[in-house]
A and B are shown apart, each in its own frame.
Chain A
Amino acid sequence: MSRNTLTSRRYKRRSPVRDFFHRLTRNKGACVGLVIIGILIVILIFSFFIDYKDVTKQDLSNRFLKPSWEHPFGTDDTGRDLFLRTLYGTRYSLSIGFGATFLAALLGVIIGSFAGYYGGWVDDVIMRLTDILASIPAMLLGMVIVSILGGSVRNLIIAVGICSVQYYIRITRASIMAIRGQEYVEAAKVIGMSDTKIIFTQILPNAFSPIIVTFSATIGIAILVSASLSFIGLGVSVPMPEWGALVSSGRNVLRTAPYLSAFPGLFIMITVLAFNIIGDGLRDALDPKMKR
């Protein structure tokens, strides 16, 4: 027992994962971001105890109440409590942000891996198709897809995911091209591994840091795009308290009740901000060369 602790102390070396966490937690900004995301997750869990009826309950005697202790964010045109609605809306933004980014990453990494690994005509075809996808402005593509599929959380995830898939294809392809000629890849080929296995067990784990950085950077964008789609009326529809839709519904009474738009927008901003600073921290932690 004592010998064990002795040796472990003497040979205490950080694994790359621990080293990464060490560097990430040393970054003050990233810590703040992680704390904010932590709080949002607590809010998310708390919001599951909010009854949907309370969120949509109309109380016409309490219309347009200014923010107070009883109603911290005020009440809207039908007397619904904006604070509850905003808290309840956390699930939409977070699930669309994560869902869309995850979908984009999954598709993009798989497609990009094949493009980067095989090169040649496979690469040509995939990259030309990516160029075409990239030449439609993201917001327009999102609008077209949502208008066809209809506005719901699932469809927003698909639309926003398709819009950001090109980033993952490009970044995965580039990082795989950089390492596909390495000796260990050759070695894996020599021992008879299949191409798919080489890509997923040998190459991808070594090409992962730019993908993670892209992931954290695009979550913020995904949340913004989905909120914008909801804002213009194409995303999650109004009775559901999605943040973008909340801002939009406060818009008609902006002159008299600006808080109805201000608070949900503030929530969007803080959430995106948290993901952005975590993204910055991740980039610094994963790529010491880029640390400025």
Chain B
Amino acid sequence: MIRYIIKRLLYLIPVILCVSFIIFALMDLTPGTVVDSMIPSDATPELIAAIRAQYDMDKPMIYRYGKYMLNFIQGDLGRSDLSGESIMKMYLTRLPNTIVLALTSIVIAALMAIPMGIRAARHAGTLTDTMTTVVTLIGMSMPAFWLGLMLLFAFSYKLGWFPASVNGGFKSLILPAFCNGLSMMAGTTRQTRSAMLEVLNSDYLRTARAKGVPERRVIWKHALGNAMIPILTTLGGNLSHAMAGSVVIESVFAWPGVGRLTAEAIMSRDTKMACGCVIMTTILYVVMILLVDLAYAFVDPRIKARYIRSKKPRKQVEA
């Protein structure tokens, strides 16, 4: 298991290098960088050359990239072109907000999606099933920003239940988390339904019922346990996306997370900031995907066995 984790972590290094190179190159090649805007219009060629040399603009791009990555390894992403603050520090102060939002919304999504999906699968073909399908289809088709605005209007402006600003502590978390959770819920419900449908007619469920296991236990332990992998995949995918910062939801609810930080940096052409944010977020994203992969092992003993087998070879039974 540990060997597998190390292998996967090592595999992340080339991915991170490539991604950061692509992002750095794209940002670097953009015309109209901040350095260009610093040059006064009446500058002499010598002054222009001096300013450009100060920011290594006279050297090839690969040199700047190498320098950037060397600093990055030491935890330094440079300073924002606009505010002059340390990018790493700004990112890390925003990150907890995004994590809190992501975790809350995934819990909301799972709490709604799994029971709904199970119910739809158990009553496949009935009105309940059709209703679930309709609800999830609508949920999948709703633009998150629109849902957010409508929730904001209804629950914050009209009913006044939740604050519209973020300073309201726990209360201000509910609307964005609910909005995010609803968007994730649709896909997860569909996945739960189809995964459950696959296992509901299996022999081991019949066996479990035959030996007198209560129905509730049959569904929630025996069936759900076996249907968990695809559900986990969907939830995990959603979680990694949310961890990467739901730019849209953070911007609708003015949630101070990393998604909004990135969006603001890109909008204000703060190249360094944007570059740092995108690289950090991508690292977070791939690490999250790795964690979800590892989580499979805890859900499915067969996958766990595959990891452990490399250490202690099991005797293969020839068919």
Residues of A within 8 A of B (CB): 131-132, 135-137, 139-140, 143-145, 147-148, 220, 224, 227-228, 231-234, 244, 247-248, 250-251, 254-255, 258, 261-262, 265-266, 268-270, 272-273, 276-277, 280, 292
Asked whether A143 lies within 8 Å of B247 as measured between CB atoms, the reply is yes
CB interface residues, B 125-162, toward A, < 8 Å: 137-138, 140-146, 149-150, 152-153, 157
Interface membership of B80, Cβ < 8 A: no
**Cross-chain contact B140 with A139 (CB below 8 angstroms):** no
Residues of B within 8 A of A135 (CB): 15, 19, 282, 285-286, 289
Q: Given known contacts A234-B267, A258-B153, A262-B150, is B138 in contact with A273 (CB within 8 Å)?
A: yes
**Distance of A139 Cα from B30 Cα, bound (Å):** 19
In whole angstroms, how far apart are the Cα atoms of A272 and B138 in the complex? 9
> Is B23 close to A, CB under 8 A?
yes
Q: Is the CB of A265 within 8 A of B263?
A: no
Q: Which B residues lie within 8 Å of A145 (CB)?
A: 26
Cα-based distance from A139 to B281 in the complex (angstroms): 11
A254, B152: Cβ atoms closer than 8 Å: yes
A residues near B286, Cβ cutoff 8 Å: 135
Q: Nearest Cβ in chain A — how far from B111, in angstroms?
A: 24
Tell me, in angstroms, the Cα distance from A227 to B149 when the chains sit together. Answer: 14
A144 near B274 with CB under 8 A, answer yes
A234 to B278, CA, bound (A): 16
Task: Tell me if B188 is interfacial: C-beta within 8 Å of chain A.
Answer: no
The 0/1 profile, CB within 8 Å of A marked 1, for residues 240-254 of chain B is 110010011001100
- Contact between chains at B278 and A227 (CB < 8 Å): no
Does the CB pair B157–A143 fall under 8 Å? no
B-chain residues with CB within 8 Å of residue A136 when the two chains form the complex: 19, 22-23, 278, 282, 285
Residues B145 and A228 in contact, CB atoms below 8 Å apart:
yes
Find B19's partner among A132, A139, A227, A276 (CB 8 Å cutoff). A132
The CA-CA distance from A273 to B240 in the complex, in Å, is 25
B137 x A273 contact (CB < 8 A):
yes
* Besides A137-B244, A147-B269, 13 new A-B residue pairs in contact (Cβ under 8 A), listed by A number: A132-B18, A135-B19, A136-B285, A147-B30, A227-B145, A247-B143, A254-B149, A254-B152, A258-B150, A262-B150, A268-B143, A276-B140, A292-B124
Taking residues whose C-beta sits less than 8 angstroms from the other chain, chain B's interface range is 35 or more
A143-B247, A224-B143, A269-B141 known; A251-B241 Cβ under 8 A: no
Known: A144-B266, A254-B149. A137 touches B141 (CB 8 A): no
> In the bound complex, what is the Cα–Cα distance between A109 and B161 (angstroms)?
50
A267: shortest Cβ distance to chain B, in Å?
10
Query: For the complex, what is the distance from the CA of A277 to the CA of B278, rounded to whole Å?
Result: 34
Instruction: Report yes or no: A137 in contact with B149, Cβ–Cβ below 8 A.
Output: no
State whether the Cβ of B88 lies closer than 8 Å to any Cβ in chain A: no
| Min C-beta distance of B53 to chain A, whole Å | 25
Counting from the closest, the 9 A-B pairs by CB-CB distance are A265-B146, A273-B141, A272-B141, A137-B244, A132-B18, A258-B153, A147-B266, A231-B145, A135-B286
Task: Answer yes or no: B292 CB below 8 A from chain A CBs.
Answer: no
Select from chain B the residue with minimum beta-carbon distance to A247: B146
Q: Which of B240, B251, B269 has the most CB of A within 10 A?
A: B251
Q: Determine if B262 is an interface residue (Cβ-Cβ < 8 Å).
A: yes
Contact partner, A220, options B15, B19, B141, Cβ 8 Å: B141
Q: Tell me whether B191 is interfacial, beta carbon within 8 Å.
A: no
Give the residues in chain B near A292, CB-CB below 8 Å.
124, 194, 197
Bound complex: CA A131 to CA B153 (Å): 40
Would you give the shortest CB distance from B82 to chain A, in whole angstroms?
A: 15
CA distance A244 to B145 in the complex (A): 9
Most buried by A among B19, B247, B282: B247
CB distance from A87 to the nearest CB of B (A): 18
Contacts A132-B18, A144-B278, A254-B157; is A233 near B145 (CB within 8 Å)? no
Q: Which residues of A contact B18 (CB under 8 A)?
A: 132
C-alpha gap A225/B194 in the complex (Å): 26
